[in-house]
Amino acid sequence: MTASFETKIDSLQTRLNREERELAQDQTELSQRKLEEGGTHLQNVAGLLGFGRKRSLSTSLTKRRQTASAKADVEESVDAIAELKTQLEAFEKEKAEAVEEVNQRWGEIANQITEIPVTALKKDVLLELFG
């Protein structure tokens, strides 16, 4: 019985670990996107002030869209991790309750000891060797 709970818990733990790795990757990508977006904004400002070549506004909008997408990925990973942790806690609680129930049931059965007296009769005694 606990084997089925263990496989479910192991599966959830594996998914949780995968989501945590994905979160780390998403956070790295988000920080890189923010740097790229900031650099593009600085280039646009420098171009407007006459310190460099003028860049189109669409590049800045593209960088902003990519940053927003990376932020959404991070939020999705955080939500998925929270959901998986909740499921994992629920399965562990359910397992503990099931184990407790089984232990209690079998404990009660083991404690139900009744003594049945058996008197030996002469006809029930068999000798295999005599001599």
Rounded to the nearest 10°, the torsion over CA 74, 80, 86, 87 is: -160
Does the model's pTM come out above 0.85? no
Residue 127 lies in a domain: no
Both tokens of 60, joined, read 């800045």
Q: What percent of the chain has pLDDT over 70?
A: 93
Average the pLDDT over 38-49 and give the result.
77
Domain of residue 88: give its range: 2-112
Question: Where on the phi/psi map is residue 50: left (φ > 0), alpha (ψ -120 to 50), or beta?
Answer: left
Residue 128 lies in a domain: no
Residue 15 lies in a domain: yes
Give the model's pLDDT for residue 3: 83
Q: For the chain, what is the mean pLDDT?
A: 85
Q: How far apart are CA 131 and CA 128, in angstroms?
A: 10
Alpha-helix residue ranges (DSSP H) falling in 1-131: 2-49, 57-111
Residue 50 lies in a domain: yes
pLDDT band at 34 (very low <50, low <70, confident <90, very high): confident
Residue 60 lies in a domain: yes
CATH of the domain at 57: 1.10.287
- Digit-coded pLDDT (tens) for 63-104: 888 888 898 999 999 999 999 999 999 989 998 998 899 888
Number of domains in the chain: 1
